[in-house]
Amino acid sequence: MIQTPDVPFIAITTLACVLMIGLGFLPRPSVATAMWSFAFALGTLASYAFLAAGPADSALLRGLGSGIFLPANALIWVGLRAAAGRRRTLWQVAVAYLVVSPVALIATAGTNAYSVTFRADFAVAAVFGALIVVELVRMYPTYRDVVLPMMLAGALFPVFAVYGILEGVMRALSGTTAADDLADVRSVNSVGTGVYLFCAVVSLLLLARHDAPAASGSAGGFDEIARARLVRARAAADEWWSVVEVRLDDPADIRTALGESTFARVAGRFRADVLAELPADADYAEVDETTFVVLVPRSQEAVRRLVIAILERVSLPDPERRLPLRVSASIGWAPAQIVGYELDALRAAATEAASIARAKGGDRWERTTAPCDAAPGVV
């Protein structure tokens, strides 16, 4: 949301930027934290542009500030897609918006067209705000309380966008078309600016620190190690490699039924059970506390025995505490012999197979029979 330039706005945006870079990007560098840090940096630059525009009464600086502030939503959305493991983050859309927004507002600054351009630009930002809420809703079963602050604050954008459009329509009907007819819109938007920034930095910092995948136990990280192993396997025509995704069934329901503390115990036992069954030469990453992705150098028969053993172990009752529900897992299995040696394709195929296993009731495994992009079947 855009507000009139003042010291509190500068303080909020600057603090949010420093926190995101210092506590998010630097300790946990990733595409997601880089996008979020860039978004808050744009907010800081915009606040100083607004400050400079005030004494000078500069429409150009005001248009520049708005033009670089509004696309921050698109960058946050891209970061959320990256954090959620989407195969396509659609960063090109955010970059295009970041170019078009300031150009459009600067080009119309000081003219009667600025009001309409700003309201349209704000509506586009509201669309990305809605997309942010959609991504957060998808992440809610796993992250729950972490995403709630920004989910609620993000819903403000469409509300304020609708207000801005209606206010503009009313002005047009009344014959008011001056270039500076946005005072009321800025005043209303200022109400939500601090709330939105505060909620955003809280949720995104928690996501940044919660979502960092664990390495596979070897230096370099899972992706780097797995790709190197698959390159060597391809060169040696070694087909005894598979990617397996293991998911805890119904984590949201378990959390709701048992509470946070018991859920943490269930998730910890799930992690211990999965790791206990993995062979010593398997590489793994924790996507989150309820999902593992594993690269297994074994024949298909050996992998079949492995996934069955994991399912059996996870479903065993907790000997130390009786639970009112049965814990189970769903497993997706993508063999290199079928999918090929590209890690991204193997992970996508394993993810889709795991989704099918869950859709069939969970507590089972499914093996892909074709690369994911080729509409795989499972057996």
Would you state the pLDDT for residue 171? 66
CA 196 to chain centroid: 17
Give the number of other CB atoms < 10 A from CB of residue 300. Answer: 15
Spatial CB neighbours of 111, under 8 Å, sequence gap ≥ 6? 179
Would you state the pLDDT for residue 372? 55
Per-residue tens of pLDDT for the chain, all 379 residues: 444 445 677 888 999 999 999 998 988 888 889 999 999 999 999 989 988 887 777 889 988 988 999 999 999 999 998 887 666 788 999 999 999 999 999 999 888 888 888 888 888 988 999 999 998 888 776 677 788 888 888 887 777 777 767 766 776 666 655 445 666 666 666 667 778 888 999 999 988 876 444 444 433 478 888 888 899 889 888 888 999 999 999 998 888 888 877 788 788 888 888 988 988 788 888 888 899 999 999 889 999 999 999 999 998 887 656 777 888 999 999 999 999 999 989 999 999 999 999 999 989 999 998 665 543 444 4
Cα separation, 275 vs 289, in Å, equals 13
Residue 151 phi, psi dihedral angles, 5° rounding: -60, -45
CB burial readout 120-141, b (16+ within 10 A) else e: bbbbbbbbbbbbbbebbeebee
Residue 202 phi, psi dihedral angles, 5° rounding: -65, -50
Cα separation, 55 vs 7, in Å, equals 13
Angle between helix 7-19 and helix 31-56 axes, rounded to 10 deg = 160
From residue 47, give the alpha-carbon distance in Å to each of 79, 125, 204, 330. Answer: 22, 17, 20, 48
Report helix, strand or coil for 363.
coil
From residue 337, give the alpha-carbon distance in Å to each of 194, 229, 366. Answer: 53, 15, 16
| HEC string for 88-115 | CCCHHHHHHHHHHHHHHHHHHCCCCHHH
Angle between helix 91-108 and helix 31-56 axes, rounded to 10 deg = 10
311's tokens: 């399912």
Question: Which residues are paired to 34 by β-bridges?
Answer: none
Give the number of other CB atoms < 10 A from CB of residue 273. Answer: 21
* DSSP H/E element including 13: helix 7-19
**DSSP code of 241?**
-
379's tokens: 């057996």
Extract the runs of DSSP E, i.e. beta strands, from the chain.
242-248, 283-288, 291-296, 329-335, 364-367
